[in-house]
Amino acid sequence: MQMRQQTGKNGRGHWVWLWGPVLGYCSLIFMLSAQQDLSPPQFPSSDKVAHFLEYGVLGILWARAAQASWPHWTFRLLLLSTMLFTGFYGVTDEWHQFYIPGRFSDWYDALTDLCGGTLGGLGYLLSVRLLAKKTVPSPTPAV
């Protein structure tokens, strides 16, 4: 019996296309969190802005992968999964930073991560919904 690698819609190639960016971006966040002297640009609340944008991208990537992987999920379930994932990853990121010399852990950063991830995912899901409505052809009247 010959084994064949699947690369179609449900194969490994599809999985890598959807979830690879999520895993890669989570790895990037982890590596950045491990830097002892990482500091954002200096302007008021720059740390929170950086966290919000960083996790906004993660929310977009998660929502994209989840929606394509589980098309039967409702809008609310997709948004809830985005909130749970980005919130959980934000908390683990802050826990990780607690053990890095020169870094500190802040629950407000974790809350900002949750907000950024949620709004990023929400923006993605709403834009997909809006684009889907625009691409559905309206029925033409019979003459």
Give the pLDDT mean for 133-137: 75
Tens of pLDDT, residue by residue over 57-67, are 999 999 999 99
Torsion of CA 120, 76, 66, 70, to 10 degrees: -160
Orientation of helix 46-69 relative to helix 12-33, angle to 10°: 160
Kindly tell me if the per-residue pLDDT of 2 is higher than 60: no
Amino acid letter for position 105: S
* Residue 25 · residue 85 · CB < 8 Å: no
Orientation of helix 46-69 relative to helix 75-98, angle to 10°: 130
